[in-house]
Amino acid sequence: MEHINLVHNIPFFSIFLAMLCGIITALVKNGRVAYKIHTIMVLVVGIMSGILLASVVKNNEIFTFMMGHFPAPWGNELRAGPLEALMAVTFSIVMLLMVSGGSEFIFKDVLPEKQPLYFIMLNALFGAMLALVYTNDIFTAYVFIEINTIASCALIMAKGTPQSMVGTTHYLVISLLGSGLFLLGASILYSITGHLLFPQMKEAILEIIKTEQYRLPLLVVTGFMFIGIAIKSALFPFHSMLPGAYHAAIPTSSGILSGLVLKSYVILGIKLIYCVFSEYVMETLKITEVLFAFGLAGMVMGSVYAMKERKMKRMLAYSSVAQIGYIYMGIGMGTRVGMTAACFHILAHAITKTLLFLCCGSFVEDSGGKEKIYHMRGAAHRNLLAGVGYTVGALSMVGIPLLAGFISKVYFATASVYSSGKMAAVLIVLGVSMVLNALYFLPSVIAIWTPVKGAESRPTSSVSPVFAVSIVGFIILNFALGIYYRPITRIIQMSIDLLVQ
């Protein structure tokens, strides 16, 4: 019994440890020391999350952890099951590899006196993402949405250039619009239901639907909250802040923002669907249909914008818009098979896009700061490991077999068969999107492997051990997800079944 209680404390300890390390880092004046504190913290959280995942999968359970012991209707709770634990493990692994592999970018591009501040924000961001994954009440969700936003802006502006300031301002304005809509929806929902905890909210909402009372306000509330989450997660057409922000930020920040931060909002949205509004209410109010339509549009338009880009980091940013479209398409199918595909794609994109941003940062550095794909010619010969990593990531995004991206696309295609009236749209847009992915990723792969005559083709820099380990780690994860995907999808399916109960 004591062991079970200890495991049930892991979600709270994970968030608390991240926030505590942020406070400790504030007392540190050296960036290297701050980096070590952050690395140890993420490693510890990752190990604890792994223990939690093993426990909840073995026991087939989902549990709540009360914080502050305030009873309903104002309680603060965390909720953990296989999905939450799986996402916490993924976030920990990706954060550890990305920050370790991109540490040289941090120490090179961020002023020494600001490096501890960067890691303070990184710790706060990690804790906020974990809180969004675990939360079981709407107030906690909003608080950590705002912490997520502030910390994200700090990571974007860390470089301190005029370009990063402009990108941060744009990101902040659009993000606050999403936060404001979410808060407005949450406030109205509280006034209708009288509760903050997800389970009690769900009961009240189902009663509202049955009695036909407050049906229009409920539709408005649901719209506000999901539009807010769509803006925060950069669903098309709410994506305008991404290209400038990711282009101006250091590669480490860009990878974390694309691979993890956007996904934390999506995971919160998934929890709202099952734990607050229910599949029945989402279908009755036609919210899933709207998400499906915007997801399809994002898949195509994100790729179209990426094709027109000549700068690699901006191309990767637009690619993220397309990949977020994939996730919302899966959610919008309104089936558990579609949700399984969406959750798997969250994992596949997290490990792939961070790899691409890490390799891109190395290419830009080896090319003397030049960012256009044309200037990346021969980059893979100057940095062979980064070239291999970028190639694997690009092929995964296109959907080549044995890689994670291929499996998620197969699951989306399979899910379309179970989605009444949506199969044709899914298969057509999926095919078009895969072709468009190839049209902008493959030319960049060809460019980096095209030899350049003269001195430029010779190696220009040595690869640090942590960078090499991170690239190899991401490559292994990609192949692992692409080959041993069945245990992961079983965990996701188990999670959805538990969330529906």
CA distances from 48 to 6, 12, 53, 85, 481 (A): 10, 11, 9, 9, 21
Q: HSE, CB side, 13 Å, CA atoms: give it for residue 394.
A: 24
pLDDT score at 448: 87
Same-domain pairing of 271 and 393:
no
Mean of per-residue pLDDT scores for the chain: 87
Q: Output the DSSP codes for 294-356.
A: HHHHHHHHHHHHHHH--BHHHHHHHHHHHHHHHHHHHHHT-SHHHHHHHHHHHHHHHHHHHHH
List, for residues 378-417, the tens digit of each pLDDT value.
888 888 888 999 999 999 999 899 999 899 999 999 988 8
pLDDT score at 227: 92
pTM, 2 dp: 0.91
Same-domain pairing of 350 and 482:
yes
pLDDT score at 266: 93
**pLDDT exceeds 80 at position 455:** no
pLDDT class of 447 with cuts at 50, 70, 90: confident
**pLDDT exceeds 60 at position 1:** no
Positive or negative, the CA dihedral 434, 436, 438, 444 is: negative
The amino acid present at 429, given as its one-letter code, is V
Dist CA 174 CA 441 (whole Å):
28
List, for residues 301-328, the tens digit of each pLDDT value.
999 998 888 888 888 989 999 999 999 9
Same-domain pairing of 303 and 275:
no
Same-domain pairing of 403 and 489:
yes
User: Does residue 237 have a cis bond before it (omega within 30 degrees)?
Assistant: yes
Same-domain pairing of 181 and 225:
yes
Positive or negative, the CA dihedral 478, 245, 328, 281 is: positive
**Of 247 and 40, the one with more pLDDT:** 40
Same-domain pairing of 134 and 275:
yes
Same-domain pairing of 244 and 303:
no
Q: Which two tokens stand for residue 181?
A: 């809509």
Whose structure tokens read 């590899």? Answer: 97
3-class state of residue 63 by DSSP: strand
CB 299 within 8 A of CB 263: no
**pLDDT exceeds 60 at position 372:** yes
Give me the domain span that covers residue 441.
286-501
Same-domain pairing of 188 and 336:
no
Q: Per the structure, how many domains does the chain have? A: 2
**pLDDT exceeds 90 at position 346:** yes
Same-domain pairing of 134 and 237:
yes
Which of 227, 260, 279 is the endpoint of a domain? 279
Which of 248, 279, 310 is the endpoint of a domain? 279
CB 45 within 8 A of CB 92: yes
Which of 226, 256, 279 is the endpoint of a domain? 279
Same-domain pairing of 392 and 458:
yes
pLDDT score at 3: 45
Same-domain pairing of 259 and 356:
no
pLDDT score at 203: 87
pLDDT score at 158: 85
Same-domain pairing of 88 and 222:
yes
Dist CA 191 CA 193 (whole Å):
6
Q: Which two tokens stand for residue 177?
A: 């619009």
Q: Which two tokens stand for residue 78?
A: 């965390």
The amino acid present at 229, given as its one-letter code, is I
List, for residues 55-67, the tens digit of each pLDDT value.
999 988 888 888 7
What is the pLDDT averaged over residues 28-46?
Answer: 91
pLDDT score at 450: 85
**pLDDT exceeds 70 at position 4:** no
